[in-house]
Every structure is written in C-alpha cells, then in structure tokens.
Amino acid sequence: DRVIVMYAGQIVEEAPVQEIFTDPKHPYTRALLDTVPTIRDDEDRQLQAIPGMVPESYDGMTGCRFAERCPYRREECGEPQEAYPFGEGHTARCVVAYKEEQGGER
C-alpha cells in the first residue's frame, strides 16, 4: 500500500504506491525511477545512471544526504531537512521540491 524510499540510511520519501510512481517528489526517487526499464519504453530509450557515489559515512551529516549527487542542489540543502508534506500520506525530505510545490522554482 505504501512505499518508503531510503538513501544513506534515511527515509527520503514516503507515499502511497501509485503516487510514488506517478508523482515522485524527492530527486533520488525520481532518479531511481529513471534507471528502471519498462515494457512501455521505446527501444532506443537510454537508461539513466545516478552520478556519483553513496557517501561512505553519513554519521553527522546535517543536510540532505543526496545533495552531493543532486542536480537541483541549492544552498539550503545543507540545512537539516524535515519530512515535508506533499499531500495525504506523502512526505519527502527535500526543501527544493517543497518550495517548488508551494509555487517557487526548482
């Protein structure tokens, strides 16, 4: 019924199954979905790779744990990230996505 996406030992997104696949909010969730082939893909679709590496140690990290690999990284990503609400039962630890959802820009 629900999906929890984790990165570097932390829950970065949680939502109902269908919503995770149709409207992912966290850049890591989006990147993961871009790496998965489907039967609906065009035969020339290039699968995406997530650049960079998972940090070896994430103890003491205060900001977004995906920030070093994130194409949307902003200065505020270095600050502690809360589980921002994106609707009924949908949260993601991404201040950039949350501000975008509230009418800002990514």
pLDDT score, position 48: 84
Taking all residues of the chain, what is their mean pLDDT, rounded to a whole number?
Answer: 91
Predicted TM-score (pTM) of this structure: 0.88
pLDDT score, position 26: 97
44 pLDDT above the threshold of 90: no
pLDDT tens per residue, range 74-102: 999 999 999 999 999 999 999 999 999 88
Q: Does residue 106 carry a pLDDT above 80?
A: no
> What are the Cα distances from residue 99, in Å, to 1, 43, 51, 74, 77?
27, 36, 24, 11, 12
Q: What is the pLDDT of residue 105?
A: 60
| Alpha carbons 52 and 102: distance in angstroms, whole number | 29
R_g over Cα of the chain: 14
Q: How many CB atoms lie within 10 A of CB 54?
A: 13
